Amino acid sequence: MDTDEVLMTSTDASPASALSVRGLTKTFGSHRVLDDVSFDVQPGETVAIIGPSGSGKSTLLKCLNFLQEYDAGEVRFMGRLVGYVTTGGRRRREKEKNIDRLRSKLGMVFQSFNLFPHMTVLENVIEAPMLVNRESRADATARAKALLERVGLANKADAYPATLSGGQQQRAAIARALAMQPIAMLFDEPTSALDPELVGEVLDVMQALAAQGMTMVVVTHEMNFARDVADKVLVMDRGAIIEQGPPEVVLSNPRTERTRAFLQRMLHR
């Protein structure tokens, strides 16, 4: 059974949302990191998640593709329950091969670039398609070169990560995630490790992806990106979503005092 069949072969109803999160809860010891989180991401939508450090944003993102198990609630991707199967009213962990297949369609870009230092940029991009999807080297290389052109790194295919700037490394990481031909992309503060002058080149690539219709969930502190690119903004604080809606509403006329205080702090950084 191929990846798309794994995603869609289910007793679940046909999905209206690319991602659907309901009542998501996660605790570490006595600390509740996620507290009854619910939201939807429609196909082709860009959702920005903002909020103070420690509010649960990165944990939420990891739960979306099951890099982090969750305690209660559910995440559904293309209608399929992420990480678990339900039989006889009881939930158990999904088979690892099915988790991996589903995860391959939810590309993820981290704060740190996580490129293999002993491989060239091209080798980094073709590694997963060859190992996971069993693509031929020729097919994987052809797609990788097209993706490197897309992110402005066509002339860096044979370079090693250590010779690249932070912005170039992050763009290579985006190309690597796209090489798996994901249905949606998750970004965990992809510009936070970059020098200010390099932030724009990564945001430009992400903005182009959004314009091309890629479904994206982006944890970010870049308020201009949230305002100009996102279709919807979620504000998190203390593990909960305290506000969500169109950026022109949430960022310009927030309902909650906690959102107003956060945005005020961001304006005076």
Q: 159-195 pLDDT, tens per residue?
A: 999 999 999 999 999 999 999 999 999 999 999 989 9
CB atoms inside a 10 Å sphere around CB 11: 9
DSSP single-letter state for residue 58: H
Q: Which tokens hold the place of 69?
A: 């198990």
The answer to whether 86 and 102 are in contact (CB under 8 A) is no
Angle at the Cα of 212 (from 232 to 44), degrees rounded to 5? Answer: 40
Q: How far is Cα 264 from Cα 210, in angstroms, rounded to an integer?
A: 27
Q: What is the pLDDT of residues 28-64, one digit of tens each?
A: 999 999 999 999 999 999 999 999 999 999 999 999 9
What CA–CA distance (Å, rounded) separates 104 from 214? Answer: 15
- Residue 191, classified by CB atoms within 10 Å of its CB into exposed (0-12), middle (13-18) or buried (19+), is buried
Whole-structure pTM value: 0.91
Q: Kindly state the tokens that stand for 106.
A: 């939810």
Task: Please state, in angstroms and rounded to a whole number, the distance separating the CA atoms of residues 183 and 146.
Answer: 18
